[in-house]
Structure 1
Amino acid sequence: MDTSAAARASVCRLPRSVVTSVHTPVSPVGRHLVLMALCFPSASMCPKGCICQRDPHLHSLNVTCSQSRLKEIPPTLPVDAVLLRLDHNQIGAVPDQAFRGLRVVRELNLSYNAVETLGEGAFIGLEESLQVLDLSHNHITRVHRDVFARLKARVIVDDNPWHCDCALQQAISGMAHNHEAAARVLCRSSDLLDQDGRPFLAVEIDLCNLAKRTTDYAMLVTMFGWFAMVISYVVYYVRQNQEDARRHLEYLKSLPSKPKKPDEADDISTVV
């Protein structure tokens, strides 16, 4: 094997068995192509419009898809990506298991998009490796309570038009190790009055308990409404029967009386 191939193999840190397998009969161009395929196995999976660069010092693959006019998460991403930048695009949703198979991603940047919806399992598979998740400057208003539950990463969620409700309160409670990020969540709207524009952590009322009370009150009102409707129907039914009975009695009274026969009068006097 020539010195250039050996040098490339040393840079890629390929095992000696792999290096020696590239034997002399293969042309220099062929050897280079084989070594490039071994060194950069993810190059063929680089999404359209993205740049995939391997850092020779950190032995990591950086995938940059910034400002690529993406409207959705690319369906195929290099499985060995460590840094994944999807910022400054037009992505509107992060579906369930959008990053399935990416087991070594340490930083995921989704800032400055149009994200409105996060699937409950949007970040499944990233629980152990992910260190930074940037969702700032999007259009997120609501999230499922468990969307961040298992993440150990630092989650950045500020500059979103949050609606402060029970689900958000539960999601924030799952980010106890992200107090700084949680402190920057501002309520654009809320289930409570006079909370717009306030930091979410400044809301001292248990929104989940409030939601439960609201549900109980609504159920009570519904039950009262049904009860009132049943009572009204019973009263109407009774009055209608009384009215029918009165009309029937008046009808009977209006019938002509049957005249008595003379023999009937004599029979009555005899009995007496």
Structure 2
Amino acid sequence: MTLLDLWLSRSIPMCLLLQSLVLMALCFPSASMCPKGCMCQRDPHLHGLNVTCSQSRLKEIPPSLPVDTILLRLDHNQIGAVPDQAFHGLRLLRELNLSYNAVETLGEGAFSGIEGTLQVLDLSHNRITSVHKDAFARLKARIIVDDNPWHCDCALQQAIGGMAHNHEAAARVLCRSSELRDQEGRPFLAVDADLCNLAKRTTDYAMLVTMFGWFAMVISYVVYYVRQNQEDARRHLEYLKSLPSKPKKPDEADDISTVV
């Protein structure tokens, strides 16, 4: 056997082994790609990963999610906030489940970077009371927002106004509290008033009351100042009147006697 035959007999199995390892790396995510407490499974039809982090006692969104994630389940955890651009690198994400967590508010950039691909967003059973007016503005996904203690105000009215394609979701928003007392416990879409103008009128009224208060204080001070000066002037006049008259000089008295 020549040296060439010997080298080929050993290199071909090595090449096949290396090729197998590469294929395995492409077909199955490595442990380092999958966040701790999550399970990652490749979807053969959508050519991406299904990442399941349900019931993992997570208190925040994992920072190192695989970039080819197409389905992300974060439900039944203790996540309290969705930071801006938390999913920015997930350009293939189609479904995001954040239900049964402790999220209280949503900022303007909470879903930045996934507006074009996201198809389903589940935010039900959280503690959301308020959202930025543009939190859902660029999303085309079906949004599920049931069972949240919403505070119905101007920002929420603007946010829901940007959900024209999610009328069903908007109809499920119930006002736990509201700028209008008679709207508490009612569907938000039943609110007929423009809460943004209501807030503006409330601000204008507060400014008017403040200005009136300052004006009343100034008038009161002026009246007090005038009365105080009048009282001082009266006392000074009474003091002058109480002074004894000036006695005549002896020379003046002698002159008067001589004349007489």
Question: Taking structure 2 as the reference length, what is the TM-score of the superposition?
Answer: 0.87
For 1:141 and 1:241, locate their aligned partners in 2 and report how far apart those are by CA, in whole Å.
58
Q: Which of 96, 109, 112 is the matching residue for 1:124?
A: 112
Q: What is the deviation of 1:118?
A: 1.5
Q: Is the contact between residue 87 and residue 112 of structure 1 (CA under 8 Å) also seen in structure 2?
A: yes
Q: Which of 223, 227, 235 is the matching residue for 1:247?
A: 235
Q: Is the contact between residue 115 and residue 139 of structure 2 (CA under 8 Å) also seen in structure 1?
A: yes
Q: What is the deviation of 1:257?
A: 2.7
3-state SS of 2:67 partner:
coil
Give 1:84's aligned amino acid. Answer: L
3-state SS of 1:155 partner:
strand
- The number of aligned residues is 246
Query: Which is further off, 25-34 or 164-173?
Result: 25-34
Structure-1 residue corresponding to 2:246:
258
Q: What is the deviation of 1:96?
A: 1.2
Query: Which is further off, 176-185 or 204-213?
Result: 204-213
Q: What is the deviation of 1:119?
A: 2.1
For 1:266 and 1:25, locate their aligned partners in 2 and report how far apart those are by CA, in whole Å.
153
3-state SS of 2:176 partner:
strand
Q: Is the contact between residue 61 and residue 82 of structure 1 (CA under 8 Å) also seen in structure 2?
A: yes
For 2:15 and 2:107, locate their aligned partners in 1 and report how far apart those are by CA, in whole Å.
50
Q: Is the contact between residue 51 and residue 72 of structure 2 (CA under 8 Å) also seen in structure 1?
A: yes
Q: Which of 25, 30, 44 is the matching residue for 1:37?
A: 25
For 1:87 and 1:136, locate their aligned partners in 2 and report how far apart those are by CA, in whole Å.
10
Q: Which runs of 5+ in 1 are unaligned?
A: 1-22
Q: Is the contact between residue 29 and residue 41 of structure 2 (CA under 8 Å) also seen in structure 1?
A: no
Deviations 1:4-31 (A, max 9, x none): xxxxxxxxxxxxxxxxxxx737376554
Q: Give the superposed CA RMSD.
A: 2.1
Over 3 Å counting, the alpha-carbon distance change for 1:129 and 1:255 in structure 2 is same
Structure-1 residue corresponding to 2:79:
91
Structure-2 residue corresponding to 1:159:
147
Written as runs of structure 1 = structure 2, the 5 A alignment for 1:156-235 is: 156-235=144-223
Q: What is the deviation of 1:209?
A: 1.3
Give 1:245's aligned amino acid. Answer: A
Deviations 1:158-202 (A, max 9, x none): 110111111110000010110010011111111112212211101
Structure-1 residue corresponding to 2:136:
148
1:108 aligns with 2:96: yes
Over 3 Å counting, the alpha-carbon distance change for 1:266 and 1:101 in structure 2 is farther
Q: Is the contact between residue 42 and residue 80 of structure 1 (CA under 8 Å) also seen in structure 2?
A: no
For 1:217 and 1:228, locate their aligned partners in 2 and report how far apart those are by CA, in whole Å.
16
Deviations 1:212-248 (A, max 9, x none): 1111111111111111111111111111111222222
Question: Taking structure 1 as the reference length, what is the TM-score of the superposition?
Answer: 0.84
For 2:252 and 2:20, locate their aligned partners in 1 and report how far apart those are by CA, in whole Å.
135
Structure-1 residue corresponding to 2:4:
none
Over 3 Å counting, the alpha-carbon distance change for 1:42 and 1:157 in structure 2 is farther
1:24 aligns with 2:12: yes
Deviations 1:34-79 (A, max 9, x none): 3333444665221100001001232121111011111111111111
For 1:181 and 1:163, locate their aligned partners in 2 and report how far apart those are by CA, in whole Å.
16
For 1:52 and 1:41, locate their aligned partners in 2 and report how far apart those are by CA, in whole Å.
7
Percent identity, aligned pairs only, is 87
